[in-house]
Amino acid sequence: MKKKQKSKAGQKTKKGQTKSKRKEPLWMWAGLGICIVIGVTAYFYYQPPDSLSASATPTQIKLGEKLFAENCLSCHGSGARGENPAQSRGGQKADGSYLAPALNGTGHAWHHPNEMLFSTVKDGSVAKDSTMLGFKEKLSDDDIVAVLQYVKSLWPDEIQVRHAMRP
Q: Angle 125-31-26 (CA atoms, 0-180°, nearest 5)?
A: 175
> Residue 93's CB: how many other CB atoms inside 10 A?
13
Question: Is 57 strand, coil or helix?
Answer: coil
Q: What pLDDT, on a 0 to 100 scale, did the predictor assign at position 55?
A: 80
**What are the domain boundaries of the chain?**
56-162
Q: What pLDDT, on a 0 to 100 scale, did the predictor assign at position 167?
A: 43
Side chain identity at residue 145, one-letter code: V
List of residues 6+ apart from 63 with CB closer than 8 A = 143, 146, 150
pLDDT mean across residues, the chain: 80
pLDDT tens digits, one per residue of 20-64? 565 667 776 677 767 676 666 555 555 555 556 678 899 999 999
**Nearest one of 67, 98, 97, 101 to 83, comparing CA atoms:** 101
φ, ψ dihedrals at 100, nearest 5°:
-75, 125
Higher pLDDT, 123 or 108: 123
CA 60 to chain centre: 22
| 1.10.3720.10, 3.50.50.60, 1.10.760.10, 1.20.1260.10: CATH of 56-162 | 1.10.760.10
What pTM did the predictor assign?
0.67
List of residues 6+ apart from 162 with CB closer than 8 A = 110
pLDDT tens digits, one per residue of 61-90? 999 999 999 999 999 999 999 988 788 778
Is pLDDT at 11 greater than 90 in this prediction?
no
Mean pLDDT, residues 100-119 taken together: 90
pLDDT tens digits, one per residue of 55-66? 889 999 999 999
CA 91 to chain centre: 21
List of residues 6+ apart from 26 with CB closer than 8 A = none
Q: What pLDDT, on a 0 to 100 scale, did the predictor assign at position 122?
A: 96
